Homo-oligomer: A and B are copies of this chain.
Amino acid sequence: MSEHHTITTGSSPEQVGLALLTTAHNIREEVDRHMISATGISLSRTKVLQALAAHGTVHQARLADILGQAPRSVTQAVESLERLGLIDRTGNAEDRRRKTVSLTTTGRTALAAAERAGEHVLRQIFGSLAPQQLTDLETLLTLINPPRSHTG
């Protein structure tokens, strides 16, 4: 490995790729753990609540589209959140196939708490990066993950 010109035989795309997956997995676990211990709500469920906060009252198929998940998965998520009293689910008079989902007041409060918990962890982890490093990382991520606008 000569190191005088062109440099860097040190990290193959494969190695860096796997490192990214591992690091992200560890971070996700940490965020999830903290959110659950602080509020009882996981990152996954928080994302559902966020979608509802952002899009208002929607039916499940729409929610599946927003979340990029299978309709079946949304049914399950919505069931669990309903059991917790964080969302309301009612039939739809105009289209009786649909079920209309919306945040409850409790849900809105829980969402705020969960977001705070998650953001706290992310600030702890990413706060060590300088502003320039943050934007560098963001740029690299967009290069890797072409922001595929959702199919619809």
Contacts and interface: CB of A to CB of B under 8 A. Distances in A.
Dominant secondary structure of chain A at its interface with chain B: helix
Interface string A118-152: 11001101111101111111101111110000000
Nearest to A23: B145
Nearest to A25: B24
B20 A27 contact: yes
Contacts of A134: 8, 11-13, 16
A16 B137 contact: yes
A138 B19 contact: yes
Contact of A133 (B14, B15, B143): B143
- Which 4 pairs, one residue from A and one from B, show the smallest C-beta to C-beta distance? A24-B24, A13-B126, A17-B122, A23-B145
Interface of A: 6-8, 10-28, 31, 118-119, 122-123, 125-129, 131-138, 140-145
